[in-house]
Amino acid sequence: MSKEYHVKWAAIAQSDLKQIFDYIAVDSPTNALQILKKIRQKASSLYTFPDRGRIVTELKDQGIHIYREIIVPPWRIIYRISNATVFVLSVIDSRRNVEDILLNRFIN
């Protein structure tokens, strides 16, 4: 039997999700809802086996190994595991400069 984790969303990750939804909803509210649902479902699935996500490459290159990610193309769901909780920290469009965004958020 595997350990179950509690998945919690950080305020900045919720803000990321709202910005994604708002941007897509301008052209297609229906598509925006589908994408929002897909991202939320993928993040919620982290309640089991959260270690399945890969270590964030851009942070790993900086010697930071505590952040993981799962992908819902083109978005990267960045999270951290602490005890029995998975903290969803960011949802970032992979077409942006992810390294700068993450270093600014997590280090500064």
Residues 27-85 have pLDDT tens digits of 999 999 999 999 999 999 999 999 999 999 888 888 889 999 999 999 999 999 999 99
| Measured distance CA(47)–CA(49) in Å, rounded | 7
Given the structure tokens 């997590």, which residue do they identify? 106
Q: How far is CA 7 from the centre of its chain?
A: 11
Q: What are phi and psi of 78, to 5 degrees?
A: -100, 135
The tally of domains found in the chain comes to 1
CATH code, 73: 3.30.2310.20
Residue bearing the bigger pLDDT, 57 or 17: 17
The yes-or-no verdict on residue 1 having pLDDT over 60 is no
CB 59 within 8 A of CB 4: no
State the residue range of the domain holding 10. 6-106
Question: Would residue 1 count as lying in a domain?
Answer: no
